[in-house]
Amino acid sequence: MNLKEQIIALSKEIGISKIGFTTADDFAYLEKSLRAAVEEGRTSGFEHKNIEERIQPKLSLASAKTIISIAVAYPRRLPQKPQKTQYKRGKITPNSWGLDYHYILQDKLERLARGIEELTANFEYKGMVDTGALVDTAVARRAGIGFIGKNGLVISKEFGSYMFLGELITNLEIEPDQPVDYDCGDCNRCVTACPTSCLIGDGTMNARRCLSFQTQDKGMMDLEFRKKIKTVIYGCDICQICCPYNKGIDSPPVVDIDPDLAEPELIPFLELSNGQFKEKFGMIAGSWRGKNILQRNAIIALANANDKSSIPKLVEIIDKKQNPIHMATAIWALSQLVKQPNEELISFIEDITSDHPDVLAEREAFLTLAKKSQV
């Protein structure tokens, strides 16, 4: 076997679903769209800030000649459902089930690199997942992992779009693979299905309108998006669920998945301390934004689930005045759950004192709705 064949064989032993090779040439064609996204305010703010580093692999590894792109497929359905309890459950999207995929990919990339070191001398490399400089999807497309769909995700015939991506920038000279010869064609399902119209249709998006971004952004969630997240407290999968390439595909889990973490009970989730959150959820990808943002989402999810049993908990959140964003969101949730509030609840809301503008705005919105319900 030549070096390329040996690396492919090694990747299968490591549990890499698909591997591809491309040159370390620049991705200059991306510059215009990357700069436009920044100028037009369409970025999430989570991206690597230096655009030159995003499009020039040699800025990450001076000796770069070949980039090895890897994909690790993950399941789109839970291997088993959580047990039924008295509590309504929220949902965390599949890319955050089980151990944080950054750890999974970093481990597989490191094992791949160590294996290559045994096959060739003077090996230099730099590994990256989505927190690195390069645009993973662009690397994967050029390396033949799949094409970039209208939803901006890499899609392959073998695994659909449910793939984690990573790459090794290397100093190896290896014959590059070719991009795949299939694409979305005339299909526009993801663009049509997106509830916030964040997909532009050419593989780019207004990231700030994506529901996944909304579940990760700080502060109050804009009213426009609250009902649209339904009971999802982290992520969004709508553009993947509707994709024909994902039909009939459900890859096995990469690591053990606890269904109770994938679909957590909402009211107990609101009761977690920082320490309890880190202990229970700290190793999933969605934990990176911290407890408070996900608990805000859980409050919204309770309203969207029409969970009237959560009313005492929402009142408690407001009464404790510990977190103004939670307070304000809980006031909104109460307005959704109690369409005709009694005098006691109205008086409780009227008596709320705070100097936080979101709390005051939601209090006024609640009282306005209450007055209308009494007419």
Question: Does the residue 86 lie in any domain?
Answer: no
Identify the pLDDT of residue 47: 85
Catalytic (active site) residue 136: no
Q: Are residues 223 and 339 in the same domain?
A: yes
A 10 A CB-CB count for 340 gives: 9
Q: Are residues 253 and 127 in the same domain?
A: no
Q: Are residues 205 and 67 in the same domain?
A: no
Domain that holds residue 39: 3-78+97-170
Alpha helices in the chain (DSSP H): 3-14, 31-39, 51-55, 101-117, 136-142, 189-193, 211-214, 223-226, 238-241, 259-262, 266-270, 274-281, 291-304, 311-320, 324-337, 343-350, 357-374
pTM: 0.94
User: Is the pLDDT at 45 greater than 90, yes or no?
Assistant: no
Q: Are residues 293 and 154 in the same domain?
A: no
Question: What digits encode the pLDDT tens for the residues 118-148?
Answer: 999 999 999 999 888 999 999 999 999 999 9
Average pLDDT of 72-76?
97
Quick one: which H or E segment has residue 127?
strand 125-128
Alpha helices in 253-322 (DSSP H): 259-262, 266-270, 274-281, 291-304, 311-320
User: Is the pLDDT at 375 greater than 80, yes or no?
Assistant: no
Q: Are residues 239 and 315 in the same domain?
A: yes
Q: Are residues 71 and 205 in the same domain?
A: no
Q: Which two tokens stand for residue 118?
A: 């045994």
Q: Considering only CA atoms, which of 52, 68, 72 is closest in space to residue 60?
A: 52
Q: Are residues 198 and 151 in the same domain?
A: no
Q: Catalytic residue among 25, 100, 107, 130, which?
A: 130
CA separation for the pair 193, 224 (Å, rounded): 16
Q: Which two tokens stand for residue 88?
A: 């309504």
Query: What is the number of structural domains in the chain?
Result: 2
Q: Are residues 45 and 73 in the same domain?
A: yes
